[in-house]
Amino acid sequence: MDDIKRIIKMLEDQEKRISNIEKMMTSARDEKKTIKPEVIKKSNPKSVLGLIEQMKEENFFDTPKTLKEINAKLRQDGYVYNVTSLTNPLQRLLKQRRLGRISVNGLWAYVKR
């Protein structure tokens, strides 16, 4: 009879443990629903994209800037790139609506949005 009582006690303890685990899992699941991760991914400041974003944060794009002006600013800061290597990062920023683009004297110029 002692063996049966011990088994029943062990089963009751197991049931309590399982119930506690279920509560913890439910609580964790609920916390995940309420906490939303940051969606915007920051670029590496040493990449072309990151350098252009840094220029935006420094208010460089408060007035419209052409590719030549952007390239000149990068060179002034010590980063030498071909003008053609700036187009893809600028296009990405346009798609993400982080920069805008307008036509100035027949040339595209990039501005802060």
Give the angle subtended at the CA of 64 by the CAs of 62 and 69, to the nearest 5°: 105
Are 105 and 55 found together in one domain?
yes
Domain that holds residue 100: 48-112
Q: Per-residue pLDDT tens for 36-53?
A: 555 555 556 678 999 999
Q: How many domains does the chain have?
A: 2
In a domain? residue 55: yes
Find residue 112's DSSP bridge partners: 99
Q: pTM here?
A: 0.60
Amino acid at 21: I
Task: Tell me, yes or no, whether 54 and 102 share the same domain.
Answer: yes
What CATH number is attached to the domain comprising 80? 1.10.10
101 and 55 in a single domain? The answer is: yes
Type and span of the H or E element at 107: strand 107-112
The CA-CA-CA angle for residues 56, 78, 48, to 5°, reads: 45
pLDDT in tens, 7-16: 888 888 888 8
